Amino acid sequence: MFAWDARDLNEEQAAAVREESSVFLIACPGSGKTRTLTYKIAYELSRRTDKRIVVAITYTHRAADEIQERIEAMGVDTSGLWIGTIHSFCLEWIIKPYGVYLPELARGYRVLDRHDRELLLERLCAPYSGVSHWDCDYYFNESGYHLGCADAWKHEALHQILQEYFRELAAARQIDFELILWHAHTLMRDQKHIAPLLSQVFSYIFVDEYQDTKQIQYSLLAAILRAGARRTKTFIVGDPNQAIYGSLGGYAISLPEFRALAGIPIEEMALSRNYRSSNRIISQFSNFNVHATTIEGAGVNASFPSMVSYNRQIAHTGLHDELIRLIQVSLAAGHAPEEICVLAPWWTLLASTTRKLVAMLPDQQFDGPGLVPFSNDSDNYWFKLSKILLTESSPGMLVRRMRWANEVIDDLEDFGVDTSPLTPRLLLRECNAIAISETDGLAYLHQAFAILFGRLGVDLDSFPPLIEHHAAFFRSSQARIAKLRQAGASYINDVSFFKKVFRERTGITVSTIHGVKGAEFDVVIAFGLLQGMVPHFSETTSHAAASKLLYVVGSRARKHLHLISEVGRPQGRYGSYEPTKVLAACMFGYDTC
């Protein structure tokens, strides 16, 4: 039985871990949500009395890796754990074994690469004035697809574009991420035996970040729980105040609604102690608390004398000088570069800003999800293999690389390759033996892939799906590098930069608000807090949308928080952007710095 030291968990966390019933856990920022989830998974794995599997569904692959590694570090056997994103879950447990029942999937399929999706939509949008691929986001619920674009005048064109988009995907036997969910839902709805079978396979279904879950995803999970009739339990955790994916269909379901959907008893519990931020920072972001939740400062930073500033005077032309000043002040105060984060609502703002920061602070490194120099499509086979080839063999990386090697071998088998002679250790040994002097990152990977497959005796030309993944990976990577170089990151294609991607975070983080969810830093500097950006121009009437974004921004900070609504940023023919109304109206005693 997995046990823990009494100091590892507070009473709220321990109660949630020990609870025998299914749990609906509302967790405030910095409350140890991931720790509680990890301990609960470890606890249930250690109590398994049969061969049933514990499933954990996370919002990102990175979160899945982090949780699994924490559990393994505790010495708990994870052979009975499946962990991954909802899309991976649907592919692995619904579409792969049961897709033959759907005509759209029966003859095979390929998941469309994000870059190829963008190119396809760009082509389809070209005949329509004022419509771009950015407008083409959509999501499914049980009744069909819904547009993410709030501009009603574009809807007729978007429906025509998407109808052609779906037609072309079907002709090419391709599916995108939303179609993964739709086909999984269709299979579960029409093949009544699937949900009962899965309920017999799974003893527990964990859901992280439930506030970003879509209606069709809730329906899929609830169907399994309902079929399990209490034999399959759930542990669902999140923070409704951080539900910032509403335009893509994500929402925080209420407990009564989820109980009715799942048809099983579910206990409501809460984590209310924030161990991350100072009381001053908590009091600032609590102004944007949309769902009334209790937050109590309880960590070592609770009484820290935080600097919380809001600058509405700086001109957008002087913004970079101000960002440099705030970074330098933070560094001089002893904060490590890794503990400083620069945020903006849109990546387009960060691209030009990062270029200037790199030039103005040549002694500092910058890191962030937008600076990944190659295709980061986590479902692409060659992306998975690149993780192994770009990381060094070391004791600290062994467990992680072994897991990646297992995934790569499993995928090879799915592509039809005979993997019987291949073991994870053999694959790692062959990868470690590759020595290439090439300094260009993409050329390095191209050569490494060819050398490895030669050593493994696999003829790539014999496996067309692998070739398709290969082409998609390099097309996407080349386009990504071109954009980053155009934005001023001339160094981005160097192999040394490629090898930084899968290491621990180094340097000052630059990220969008959406990209930084789940992270925390000593110092957070956020700019672009402007009406039409926070909230997005499609949600400018939504007080709640802006509040949730501001809540996420503030709750990332441990010690210092600097907010900026720069003056004079052009808004096309509409003049200049104004400060975010919700933020400007907030009465808080900001510091001058």
8 Å CB contact between 488 and 358: yes
**Residue 198 and residue 227 share a domain:** yes
Residue 2 within a domain: no
Among 272-286, 310-324, 328-342, 487-501, whose mean pLDDT is lowest?
Answer: 487-501
Distances (CA, A) of 519 to 295, 308, 516, 554: 18, 19, 6, 12
**Residue 21 and residue 88 share a domain:** yes
E-state strands within 227-367: 233-238, 266-271, 273-274, 296-297, 307-311, 340-344, 366-367
DSSP-derived secondary structure letter, 298 = -
Residue 4 within a domain: no
Give the H or E element holding residue 368.
none
**Residue 461 and residue 393 share a domain:** yes
**Residue 362 and residue 392 share a domain:** no
Q: What is the CATH number of the domain that holds 306?
A: 3.40.50.300
Residue 104 within a domain: no
Q: What is the pLDDT of residues 358-393, one digit of tens each?
A: 888 888 888 765 667 777 777 889 999 999 999 988
Residue 490 within a domain: yes
What is the reported pTM? 0.87
pLDDT(70) > 80: yes
**Residue 390 and residue 462 share a domain:** yes
pLDDT score, position 490: 72
**Residue 191 and residue 83 share a domain:** yes
Residue 376 within a domain: no
pLDDT(2) > 80: yes
**Residue 86 and residue 235 share a domain:** yes
pLDDT-derived band at 489 (thresholds 50, 70, 90) equals: low
Distances (CA, A) of 102 to 52, 172, 183, 471: 27, 16, 8, 27
Residue 457 within a domain: yes
Residue 181 within a domain: no
pLDDT(504) > 70: no
Domain that holds residue 126: 110-172
Pairwise CA distance, residues 397 & 499, whole Å: 14
pLDDT score, position 369: 59
Q: What is the pLDDT of residues 390-419, one digit of tens each?
A: 998 888 788 889 989 999 999 999 889 999
Last residue of a domain, one of 244, 271, 298: 271
**Residue 191 and residue 71 share a domain:** yes
**Residue 74 and residue 212 share a domain:** yes
Q: What is the pLDDT of residues 432-454, one digit of tens each?
A: 999 999 999 999 999 999 999 99
Position 206: which residue type? F
**Residue 162 and residue 114 share a domain:** yes
pLDDT(213) > 90: yes
CB neighbour class for 229 (10 Å; exposed up to 12, middle 13-18, buried from 19):
exposed
Give the pair of three-digit tokens for residue 321: 């000088």
Residue 375 within a domain: no
8 Å CB contact between 236 and 257: no
Give the pair of three-digit tokens for residue 42: 């470890």
8 Å CB contact between 186 and 94: no
**Residue 199 and residue 148 share a domain:** no
Q: Indicate the number of domains in the chain.
A: 4
**Residue with token string 């709750």:** 555
Last residue of a domain, one of 271, 301, 318: 271
Q: What is the pLDDT of residues 459-487, one digit of tens each?
A: 999 999 899 899 989 998 998 888 777 76
**Mean confidence (pLDDT) of the chain:** 92
**Residue 394 and residue 539 share a domain:** no
Last residue of a domain, one of 480, 498, 516: 498
pLDDT-derived band at 291 (thresholds 50, 70, 90) equals: confident
pLDDT-derived band at 252 (thresholds 50, 70, 90) equals: very high
